[in-house]
Structure 1
Amino acid sequence: MYVAVKGGERAIENAHDWLAEERRGDPSVAELSVAQIREQMTLAVNRVMAEGSLYDADLAALAIKQSRGDLIEAIFLIRAYRTTLPRIGHSSPIETGDMRCDRRISATFKDAPGGQVLGPTFDYTHRLLDFKLAADGELPQAATAEAPDAATPHITAILNRDGLIQTEDTPDGEDTPPDLTREPLEFPANRPLRLQSLTRGDEGFVLSMAYSTQRGYGRNHAFVGELRVGQVAVEMDIPELGFAIDIGEITVTECETVNQFAGSKTEPPQFTRGYGLTFGHLERKAISMALVDRALRVEELGEDNVGAPAQDEEFVLSHCDNIQATGFLEHIKLPHYVDFQAELELVRKLRTEAMEAKAAREAAE
């Protein structure tokens, strides 16, 4: 056993050395810096920050470099590092109505108050490879307008004025939502806990669930009431001062969907909302999150649960976390010699018994 352990240690050290060599790649090619990843692979950095639950672009870029571009491994690194950090306080809820928007669009109102801002988007590109990038050519600079200093009101407020959309009141006793990073997920989960889980959830999984609702598995047609990307201030109450101060600024993506609602015994027919909010510029994730959030509200709104996967709270929330999923999946490639030998002996025993029984039947015939 001692020899096997020592041999295993040497093999693991060699594997680590080989990994470092593969990470570096061809030494004749300039090494990719953390700053380059942070500035030029921002969407990957944003995903790592969002699903890693830590807003730090430099650390996210470092994790991407260390993981050779494997974003789930990078998210794992960020989550692990996050657990080592002390918590010194809590910030106040961010005010997305005060967001300085780089991008703000609505699929429900063409002439929205505050205007529509296309911002940086792939939506109108032709999805053709740009070989100028391979040639390291300089691309033209966009003529961008400065973001307005005034607060940009939410578009759903237009529907609010006429009572056409359900209001989102905070239930008594729920001013401080539970913290998924400090408390285990339990079912049934309230909406704040579901939203936290979806924010940290794997983008691909949440996208698949959202897509399923659009294809009829949930009977829930949605409009994007508003999608906005921009910077918001983060404030923190300082007991010694007696008031809140700005401690920084973060970029977030927020999506509100508008969904039909037939009404109930207490509520007239009106629209309801799905909601998504993530760190960074992650439109696909925010929209997917909003669609799944609305699907998970089926019991709360008294709608018929047709048994669609996206309406099953325990199914969605138990399987959306890519770190848990990866850990459980990849553990099967680790040594399971004892378990397999036990099953091997069992199969051999069953085969022997089956062959003896067959021989006995043939002899009786």
Structure 2
Amino acid sequence: MYVAVKGGETAILNSYELLAADRRGDQDTPELTLAQIKGQMRLALARVMQEGSLYDEDLAALALKQASGDVTEAVFLLRAFRTTLPRLGYSLPLDTAAMRVRRRVSGTFKDVPGGQVLGPTPDYTQRLLDFGLTGSDSAPSPTLAEQPLPERLPCVLDVLGSEGLIEPERPADGDPAPKDLTREPLMFPADRATRLQNLARGDEGYLLGLAYSTQRGYAESHPFAGEIRMGEVAVTVCPEELGFEIEIGEVTLTECQMINQFAGSRTAPPQFTRGYGLSFGEGERKAMAMALVDRSLRAAELGEDVHAPAQQQEFVLYHTDNVEASGFVQHLKLPHYVDFQAELSLIRTLRKQFDAQQGDEA
């Protein structure tokens, strides 16, 4: 039971002012602008857009600034604003195979069609603090490639697909439209499209922990990074009044396809199976974790034993949402005076009974 906090309006208003002052920081330091956040904190920006389910760099930058860099709070702010927006329509499925690639790597084949494209990545840095960044020197201009990348890089997993060594990607029977989890409640059992939508909005840290667990023996998983690609993908719509497709813009996406060994079943031959992850912006770690958890949640579908937490739909999908999790944890800060008094009275009664029993035994 919660009770209202009375007589605290002045204190609450003062807390707003203190929060604003702490957010601003030293007045002698130039204020952080949204343009700086967009340009120099792109990875935090991408995570806020991904978990906030809204692709808008300006709004994500504002949310990060308002939240003083607290990503979970920024996600909450963005989702809250998202609920005020009208739904004008739905875009057509994105064609990630037509991505204008800026980074594409594979951990399964050294020589892949189109080559490995390292792109912007910290993977090959020494993870040492760069004190050169304490100054204001501009970054060096990137070296241009001798030959530009082709407009369309072939998908690495097509190599295995051509030999029939990996499960084909087929739409579900009847190809039903996926549910919209922002408008419909999560129900079990959830189909794969619903699970992927849930994971896409899920907290990166939580998914990372689950993905790690699958590699440590809690899902019998031995994955390989079939392909990870990042770049820009066109967004198209087909207005009813026009009757044809038009491109309305593009979004930056990171896509990951994990492959896992599968011993086969009574109806399926031994082959590789897929785990899939997709993230707004440069979200490689999120996309990889999502792909690992996606494959883990397919255990029952593939006839594998379900015994690990990451294989259990309800455990995974009910706890992915950082906004819901944060709210449920932080609500403990609210007054619970009545609840606690009831618990306190019970403990006092039980303690008296215990003390009396101990005295009788003595």
TM bin, normalised by shorter chain, reads over 0.9
d(CA) in 2 for partners of 1:272 and 1:252? 23
What is residue 234 of structure 1 aligned with on the other side? 235
d(CA) in 1 for partners of 2:239 and 2:251? 19
Report SS of the residue matched to 1:251.
strand
Q: For the Cα contact (< 8 Å) 1:274–1:291, is it kept in 2?
A: yes
d(CA) in 2 for partners of 1:249 and 1:144? 23
User: What letter corresponds to residue 212 of structure 2 in structure 1?
Assistant: Y
What is residue 161 of structure 2 aligned with on the other side? 160
Q: Any gaps of 5 or more consecutive residues in structure 2?
A: none
Residues 98-107 or 131-140, more deviating: 131-140
Q: For the Cα contact (< 8 Å) 1:164–1:270, is it kept in 2?
A: yes
What is residue 170 of structure 2 aligned with on the other side? 169
Q: For the Cα contact (< 8 Å) 2:200–2:278, is it kept in 1?
A: yes
d(CA) in 1 for partners of 2:69 and 2:361? 61
Query: Does 1:338 find its partner at 2:335?
Result: no
CA displacement, residues 269-313 of structure 1 (integer Å, 9 cap, x when unaligned): 1111000001111000001111111111001011122x1111111
Residues 342-351 or 73-82, more deviating: 342-351
Cα shift at 1:172: 1.8
d(CA) in 2 for partners of 1:5 and 1:290? 45
User: What letter corresponds to residue 308 of structure 1 in structure 2?
Assistant: A
CA displacement, residues 140-188 of structure 1 (integer Å, 9 cap, x when unaligned): 2211338535222211111111111001211223331111111111111
**What TM-score comes out, normalization by structure 1 length?**
0.95
Q: Any gaps of 5 or more consecutive residues in structure 1?
A: none
User: What letter corresponds to residue 170 of structure 1 in structure 2?
Assistant: P
d(CA) in 2 for partners of 1:96 and 1:147? 19
What is residue 32 of structure 2 aligned with on the other side? 32
User: What letter corresponds to residue 234 of structure 1 in structure 2?
Assistant: V
Cα shift at 1:360: 4.4
Report SS of the residue matched to 2:48.
helix
Q: For the Cα contact (< 8 Å) 2:5–2:335, is it kept in 1?
A: no
What is residue 313 of structure 1 aligned with on the other side? 313
Q: For the Cα contact (< 8 Å) 1:100–1:147, is it kept in 2?
A: no
Q: For the Cα contact (< 8 Å) 1:103–1:119, is it kept in 2?
A: yes
Map residues 209-220 of structure 1 onto 2, 5 A cutoff.
209-220=210-221
d(CA) in 2 for partners of 1:132 and 1:212? 37
Q: For the Cα contact (< 8 Å) 1:296–1:310, is it kept in 2?
A: yes
RMSD: 1.4
Cα shift at 1:345: 1.3
What is residue 290 of structure 1 aligned with on the other side? 291
Cα shift at 1:139: 2.8
d(CA) in 2 for partners of 1:237 and 1:162? 36
d(CA) in 2 for partners of 1:302 and 1:110? 32
Cα shift at 1:361: 4.6
What is residue 46 of structure 2 aligned with on the other side? 46
User: What letter corresponds to residue 206 of structure 2 in structure 1?
Assistant: F
Cα shift at 1:110: 1.4
What is residue 269 of structure 1 aligned with on the other side? 270
CA displacement, residues 53-108 of structure 1 (integer Å, 9 cap, x when unaligned): 00000100000000000000000000111011000100000000100000001111
> Residues 179 and 147 from structure 1, CA distance in 2 versus in 1: closer, same or farther, beyond 3 angstroms?
farther
d(CA) in 2 for partners of 1:229 and 1:144? 18
d(CA) in 1 for partners of 2:144 and 2:164? 36
CA displacement, residues 245-270 of structure 1 (integer Å, 9 cap, x when unaligned): 00110000000011100011111111
d(CA) in 1 for partners of 2:281 and 2:361? 70
What is residue 328 of structure 2 aligned with on the other side? 328
d(CA) in 2 for partners of 1:115 and 1:109? 10
Moved beyond 2 Å, runs of 4+: 4-7, 144-150, 352-362
Map residues 46-195 of structure 1 onto 2, 5 A cutoff.
46-145=46-145, 148-195=149-196
d(CA) in 2 for partners of 1:192 and 1:60? 26
Q: Which has the higher contact order (CA 8 A, sep 6+)?
A: 2
User: What letter corresponds to residue 44 of structure 1 in structure 2?
Assistant: A
Q: For the Cα contact (< 8 Å) 1:231–1:250, is it kept in 2?
A: yes
Report SS of the residue matched to 1:138.
coil
Cα shift at 1:341: 1.0
Q: For the Cα contact (< 8 Å) 1:177–1:193, is it kept in 2?
A: yes
d(CA) in 1 for partners of 2:6 and 2:321? 35
d(CA) in 2 for partners of 1:346 and 1:219? 46
User: What letter corresponds to residue 291 of structure 2 in structure 1?
Assistant: A
Q: For the Cα contact (< 8 Å) 1:237–1:243, is it kept in 2?
A: yes
What is residue 244 of structure 1 aligned with on the other side? 245
User: What letter corresponds to residue 111 of structure 1 in structure 2?
Assistant: D
> Residues 273 and 23 from structure 1, CA distance in 2 versus in 1: closer, same or farther, beyond 3 angstroms?
same
Q: For the Cα contact (< 8 Å) 1:224–1:257, is it kept in 2?
A: yes
Cα shift at 1:6: 5.6
Q: For the Cα contact (< 8 Å) 2:230–2:255, is it kept in 1?
A: yes
Percent identity of paired positions between Structure 1 and Structure 2: 60
d(CA) in 2 for partners of 1:174 and 1:64? 38
